[in-house]
Amino acid sequence: MDKQRTIKGRIKLEGVGLHTGEKSRIELIPALANTGIIFVRKDIPESALIKADLYSVLTTDEFPRRTSVGGGDVYIHTVEHLMAALCLLGINNLQINVWGEEIPGLDGSAKSFVEEIRRVGWENQEAPRRSLTIKEPVWVEENSSSSIVVLPYHTLRISYTLKYEDPLIGSSYIDLVLNGSLWGNLHEARTFCLEEEVKSLLDMGLGKGSNYENTLVVSKKGIVENKLRFPDEFVKHKILDLIGDLYLAGNIRGHVIAIRSGHSLNIKLLEQLRKYKEKVTRAGLRSQTFISETGELNTEEIMRILPHRYPFLLVDKIIYLQKGKKSVGIKNVTMNEYFFQGHFPGRPIMPGVLIVEAMAQIAGVLMLACEENKGKLAYFMAANNVKFRKPVEPGDQLLIEVTAGRIKSRTAAVYAKASVGESKVAEAELMFALVKA
């Protein structure tokens, strides 16, 4: 699957959080290409937006036995089963509105999420799917008995070894390859725990919403008031959790070999993947060379040139680049943009200063694409003759054209205009200082 993907219609689900025991509901909404997976807390006075990525994941030291994302004082807990469903179905772009602190636990698996997404369907988008390609080993270990290593591989492959002293769970091994499609009954595997763990979990304030229907409780006599859906349900649920956790790193191309891993070790691996991604991105920045005079750049390639990152990277794609002369870029304006939460929330419009900033970023690509400016930074100096002609609203696509005026070794001047459809919405003359990084 080479294209990005979103769902075709809205999905609503509600239930009780497995750990908080509180009622919650979610709404899944289609999103434009290059949006990513965005959570929006709707139950607080000022809706908080949390992007599901390597920078929003929280440690299990503070929030054990689950995967949580957030920032500041705003959290969303137990996202792993939903994230696993999105990974299995290849969904790259989605807005998830959440009323509550925790994703509904439902039956303790990803089954309901998968079934609802399959019911409304999905559609491929024009933008290419981006991946984190592993080119050298990345690994973590814990207590000398649990470890994960990721090795180079052309797609996502999982090899998982489960080992419990409990005779019912015992030892299991599964090796599977994922490429944006369901893998058997993996999504139906439910969460489980040992009966001897229940009291300690409740004492920690966890498992308040768990019961014998949504959690397989394993006692010395067998599974309490329930039964396995399939013989390898235990190991498949561990893989489901691992897939959901790893999807916070986006689409991974690598062979993941895991031995007795859980959320704690999975999240430690995410930290190492973040460091790996930053390292290869910095290396790409130093070595970036444009082979042709014209061409397209996706978000990952733009980030090798510009120092901007989410949420301040305001360019989704460069669709035309002629070094030293002209660049054309696109910014898809979606309702999930962080600035709509406080900028005219009753009638959301994109702030004019951010339209100018988007112009400046596309101008930065134009200037820094020149061989003589390779490795430099472009600092905004001045904006002259700025004119805003029409509001930019959610759902608009900004087409920004930047034409070079004077580009010298230390300074540059450009003319930029932004359009929505056939209408010009803004224009400006911009000046920059070019300095060594």
Active site residues: 263, 343
Cα separation, 3 vs 76, whole angstroms: 28
Count of other CB atoms within 10 angstroms of residue 224: 13
